[in-house]
Amino acid sequence: MKWKTDDSGWSPYLAGALVGLMAIASVLVTTELLGKTTFIGASTTFVRAAGLLERTIFADHVVANEYYTTTKVFVDWQFMLVVGIVLGALISSIMDKSFRLESVPPTWKERFGPSIGKRAVWAFAGGVVAMVGARLADGCPSGHGLSGSMQLSVSSLVALAMFFGVGALVAHIVYGRRAS
């Protein structure tokens, strides 16, 4: 087993194990400093972002909406965590020179061609469906997949199996056939 990948990344076992240590440190630090054990997640932030954007145009509507009221639309710990992910990935990719401006993912291009418009429409639609699902299931691969599995939550283990099971099925249908 190698500690470095061919493109100077780290072994996924190493980077993953470090995320595990980070998750432990994070629950400990949030409990001590914020007085409330806080687990890593990402999808709730999309609700808050949607609420913040919507509020600039339809303020009354956001106030009246039950889901926004229970979620509480404000920039919290997790919101800044999601912002931090962008920065962390930027720093890492600049440091090891893996930063690339890319307009269409290579695998997608191979299968569906170089059109940015086509990719944009499908990625947007996929995003809508996935987020409705994540909110219904109450988590994504971070909240359920990492944080929930670490706690052996029944809901998270089931959700993770559904994510991968259905993901694998749809991926085989969509990308499975070789590009002609």
Partner 1 sequence: MNIDQWLGLVTGVLFGFLLQKGRILRFDKQIGAMLLTDMTLIKFMFSAILVGMVGILLLSDFEIIKLSHKPMNVGAVLLGGALFGGGWAIMGFCPGTSQGALGEGRWHAVFPITGMVAGAALYAELYPFFKSTVLAWKDFGTIGLPEAIGVSQWIIVSLFWVGTLSLFYWFEKKKL
Give the number of other CB atoms < 10 A from CB of residue 176: 10
Which residues, numbered 78-137, are part of the site for partner 1 (CB under 8 A)? 78-93, 96, 98-108, 116, 119-120, 122-137
Which residues, numbered 150-179, are part of the site for partner 1 (CB under 8 A)? 150-172, 174-176
Residue 178 in tokens? 């070789």
Query: Rounded to the nearest whole angstrom, what is the least distance from the CB of residue 53 to partner 1 in the complex?
Result: 7
Is 36 or 180 the residue whose CB approaches partner 1 more closely?
36
Query: Rounded to the nearest whole angstrom, what is the least distance from the CB of residue 61 to partner 1 in the complex?
Result: 9
The answer to whether residue 5 forms part of the interface with partner 1 (CB under 8 A) is yes
Query: Rounded to the nearest whole angstrom, what is the least distance from the CB of residue 22 to partner 1 in the complex?
Result: 6
User: Is the distance from CB of 45 to CB of 133 less than 8 angstroms?
Assistant: no
The answer to whether residue 59 forms part of the interface with partner 1 (CB under 8 A) is no
User: Under 8 Å CB-to-CB from 159, ≥6 apart: which residues?
Assistant: 137, 139, 144, 145, 148
The answer to whether residue 64 forms part of the interface with partner 1 (CB under 8 A) is no
The answer to whether residue 19 forms part of the interface with partner 1 (CB under 8 A) is yes
> If you compute the radius of gyration of the chain from its CA atoms, what whole number of angstroms results?
19
Contacts with partner 1 by CB under 8 A: the residue count is 130
Q: How many CA atoms lie within 13 A of 173 on its CB side?
A: 5
**Partners of 10 in the β-ladder:** 4
